[in-house]
A and B are shown apart, each in its own frame.
Chain A
């Protein structure tokens, strides 16, 4: 078993700040490197996000196994659920689950929807998708490698149910970017 934040207070604050900035400025990459020693399957940014957001009252779903799964269970104290639709936070270390299968909240409580954290192969600004929507002045370019081929269609369907919908956090290593449900994605043409 490996440790979590070296300083639990400042570590959690830094992770939360990075997530908040990422959600406020969709698609902009934030750095969050507060976990120097992690199980191999976990990206530092994704693990920090999970530690900052989850506790005993938030069901978590993850496809991580072995040491990584034990690490999440021990340090977050969150109940791990097998059914992705019952989870409030999800961490996909490999292929992400379909957005339509996740909890997107109800019209009365859209804030209860799931947040999906995905570990990707690469994440780069300045090329790829054209992002528009709240938090983006004109447009923002983001390139994410490792998402399913039909991701654009899944995201469009996710946006249709607004204010319900799933929020996405994309992580590579110690970098993360967020796609809140309000962000529009146009594939680069």
Chain B
């Protein structure tokens, strides 16, 4: 689900183009945009504090057999929230799950892992090692 919640609507639609059609869905709630409070904790053992608010979009859909799919994602992309909720419902169907995992979720996961690795490498290149401080220890 975290992969679908991060993926852009274009990425999801491109991956869906060559999978069997998803069963029809019906929107139960939303897609609607709201705010959620982000909470943080300093150093892992500090008291929790309110960091700020973030925009989230949520959507719930149901399939004809009653399966529910939900999506809550950062940002204001209503179409992406609805599509991710639809995929969430379809992924609970045993008949569709393997095909969707292979065609949609895995490629998206690799793409996101690659992007994260790239960012990490770029950040690593700018790391500064304070040799003097290290030598003093």
Tell me how far the C-beta of B45 lies from the nearest C-beta in chain A, rounded to whole angstroms: 29
Is B29 an interface residue, CB under 8 A from the partner?
yes
Q: Bound state CA distance, A136 and B66, in angstroms?
A: 47
- Count how many pairs of residues, one from A and one from B, have CB atoms less than 8 Å apart in the complex: 17
* Residue count of chain A within 8 Å CB distance of chain B: 7
Chain A residues with Cβ below 8 Å from B66 are 1
Within 8 A of A (CB), among B62-87: 62, 66, 68
CA distance A2 to B66 in the complex (A): 9
| Cβ 8 A contact of B32, one of A2, A3, A8, A75 | A8
Question: Does B26 sit within 8 A of A, measured CB to CB?
Answer: yes
Nearest to A4 among chain B residues (CB) is: B29
In the assembled complex, the CB of A8 is this many whole angstroms from the nearest CB of chain B, namely: 7
Grouping DSSP codes into helix (H, G, I), strand (E, B) and loop, the A interface class, with mixed when no group exceeds half, is loop
Q: Is B28 an interface residue (CB 8 A)?
A: yes
Q: Which residues of B contact A3 (CB under 8 A)?
A: 26-29
Give the docked Cα–Cα distance between A8 and B29 (Å). Answer: 9
Which of chain A's residues have a CB closer than 8 A to the CB of B26? 3
Residues of chain A in range 55-96 having any CB-CB distance to chain B below 8 Å: 74-75
Nearest-Cβ distance from residue A115 to partner chain B, whole angstroms: 24
Cα(A79)–Cα(B32), bound, Å: 21
Query: Within the complex, what minimum Cβ distance (angstroms) separates A65 from chain B?
Result: 17
B27 lies within 8 A of A1 (CB): no
Q: Interface digits, A1-36 against B, CB 8 Å rule (1 contact, 0 not)? A: 111100010000000000000000000000000000
Q: Which residues of A contact B62 (CB under 8 A)?
A: 1
14 pairs from A and B in contact (CB 8 Å cutoff): A1-B28, A1-B62, A1-B66, A1-B68, A3-B26, A3-B27, A3-B28, A3-B29, A4-B28, A4-B29, A8-B32, A74-B28, A74-B29, A75-B29
A-binding residues in B (CB < 8 A): 26-29, 32, 60, 62, 66, 68
Q: Which residues of A contact B (CB under 8 A)?
A: 1-4, 8, 74-75
A3-B29, A74-B60 known, 11 other contacts, Cβ within 8 Å: A1-B28, A1-B60, A1-B62, A1-B66, A1-B68, A3-B26, A3-B27, A3-B28, A74-B28, A74-B29, A75-B29
